[in-house]
Amino acid sequence: MMEWAYDGVSWVLLRWHDLWSNVFDGNQALATDWAWVLAIVGVVITLRVILFPLFVKQIQSQRAMQKLAPEIKALQERYKGDRETLQKEMMELYRKEKANPLMGCLPILIQMPVFLALFHVLRRPDPDQTMNTTLYFWTQSDWDTYVDAKLFGAPFWSTFLTSGDQLAAVDSTPLVVKLVAGVLGAAMILTTFLTTRQMILKTGWNEDPNQRMIQKVMLYGIPVIMIFSAGAFPIGVVIYWTVNNLFSLAQQQYVLHKYPPPAQSASAKPPKPGTKAHEKMLEEQREAERRRKELAPKPGKRPKPAAANTPKPKQDPKPSANGSSVNGSDGAGTVKGGPGSGKNLSRAERIARAKKVSGAQQASKKKKG
């Protein structure tokens, strides 16, 4: 089932080894066969070149999904309880805005067969294996040189748990292998953690609790699992994984710098007016407002009654001490209106009018007295 992957990875690995063998001509330095080291690095470079366009599309899809978050939330509130309609509207929104939620998983899905194929190919050669040495485009010469190849004295096919009897056949020792495998394993775990951390910090923690939990599992859970599984990985595979992580760090830094994530909080410093970033921000705000209007309930729908917003009936105005109402009505309840009622007068005019009324009342009291 995986034969196609074994053939493809082996062909790329052996072509890179042929290239570097012509450069080094069988010479070693620091007890290391650099032709095989650089051949594994070549596999990483080949894979990264092939996946780079997909990686860019992955980042672009993530940015599109982040911009659509308010619209998705509005759809969820609008179609709460109607899962079928919600899914249909979300798919239409994804299609319209050219966002693909599955694009984020595609590069990982492609890398997994490559890693599994390389794991299978590089763990096969060892001194005890004498059958099927020419599968997957390998020649007997390729097989023999890989069995004898070492990294700082540790064979490429050896693991942290390889027995001393096997290592003695190629002039190596368990101590050397454990040191090299331990340092490489620590580097692999650290670079895996840093790669995941870089991506999460640049794109932001997901607001959804379930998605946030997945991010935490990827950030902390995978490195912990690798602590216990790295001992079974051949040194050649650990070289591949570590180099691949280093390339991922550099590639992510470049792509995330070119496609920065949208501001996640109001405290983020806005771009300066007149700049391209400011114009882009205004355009995104206008687009988001347009989408919100499209997702708003259509006119003509009967609004739900809200008891809290129902206006209270007006109470009858209370009469003042002189028999006239506070709200401008006389004692009989007749409301005085019009321009002369004081409704449209200025403050100075109202004060003058009050003094005139007060003077008239005092004069009336004197006549009665």
Give the pLDDT score at 114: 84
Determine, yes or no, domain membership for 148.
yes
- Does residue 122 carry a pLDDT above 60? yes
- For the segment 33-85, what is each residue's pLDDT rounded down to a tens digit? 999 999 999 999 998 888 888 777 777 777 777 777 778 778 878 888 778 88
Give the integer Cα–Cα distance in Å for 61 and 291. 18
Coarse DSSP helix, strand, coil percentages of the chain, rounded to the nearest 5 percent = 65, 5, 30
Q: What is the pLDDT of residue 104?
A: 60
Cα 297 to Cα 314: distance, rounded to the nearest angstrom? 33
pLDDT at 363: 67
CA nearest to 147, candidates 128, 131, 127, 163: 127
Per-residue pLDDT band for 207 (boundaries 50, 70, 90) equals: low
Mean pLDDT, all residues of the chain: 76
Structural domain includes residue 273: no
Q: How confident is the model at residue 171 (pLDDT cuts 50, 70, 90)?
A: confident
Stretch among 95-109, 250-264, 309-323 having the lowest mean pLDDT: 309-323
Residues 229-238, mean pLDDT to the nearest whole number: 87
User: What token pair was written down for 153?
Assistant: 């004295």
Q: How confident is the model at residue 319 (pLDDT cuts 50, 70, 90)?
A: very low
The answer to whether residue 362 sits within a structural domain is no
The answer, yes or no, to whether residue 338 has pLDDT greater than 50, is no
Q: What is the mean pLDDT of residues 211-228?
A: 83
On whether residue 62 sits in a domain, the answer given is: yes
Residues contacting 5, CB < 8 A, separation 6+: 113, 114, 116, 117
Where are the alpha helices (H) located in 271-346, listed in sequence order?
A: 276-295
pLDDT above 70 for 149:
yes
User: Locate tokens 């309880």: which residue?
Assistant: 81
Rounded CA separation 328/305 (Å): 34
Q: Which domain holds residue 226?
A: 2-258
Please check whether residue 353 lies inside any domain of the structure: no
Task: Let me know if 337 is exposed, middle or buried by CB neighbors in 10 A (0-12, 13-18, 19+).
Answer: exposed
Structure tokens at 222: 């995978």
- Name the least confident of 46-60, 65-79, 166-180, 257-271: 257-271
pLDDT of amino acid 336: 46
State percent of the chain over pLDDT 70: 68
pLDDT at 166: 86
**What is the DSSP secondary-structure string of 180-236?**
HHHHHHHHHHHHHHHHHHHHHHHH---SSHHHHHHHHIIIIIHHHHHHHHGGGS-HH
Has residue 272 been placed in a domain?
no
- Is the pLDDT at 329 greater than 90? The verdict is no
Mean of pLDDT values over 22-32: 85
Rounded CA-CA distance 90/184 in Å is: 45
Q: Which has more confidence, 111 or 350?
A: 111
Q: Report if residue 310 sits inside a domain.
A: no
Q: What is the pLDDT of residues 39-52, one digit of tens each?
A: 999 999 998 888 88
Instruction: Scan for tokens 């056949």, then name that residue.
Output: 169
Q: What is the Cα 36 distance to its own chain's centre?
A: 36
The token duo for 343 is: 């409704």
- Can you state the angle between helices 69-78 and 83-97, rounded to 10 degrees? 160
**Backbone phi, psi, residue 301, to 5°:** -75, 140
Q: For residues 103 and 61, is the Cβ–Cβ distance under 8 A? A: yes
pLDDT at 334: 42
In this predicted structure, what is the pLDDT of residue 265?
A: 43
Domain assignment of residue 336, yes or no? no
Give the pLDDT band of residue 323 (cuts 50, 70, 90).
Answer: very low
Of 177, 174, 196, nearest in space to 185 by CA: 177
Q: Domain count for the chain, please give it.
A: 1
Which range among 164-168, 251-255, 316-320 shows the weakest confidence by mean pLDDT? 316-320
Q: Is the pLDDT assigned to residue 118 strictly greater than 50? A: yes
Cβ burial, residue 226 (10 Å; 0-12/13-18/19+): middle
- Those residues with Cβ within 8 angstroms of residue 139's Cβ, 6 or more apart along the chain or in another chain: none
Contacts 24+ apart (CB under 8 A), 76-82: 78/295, 78/297
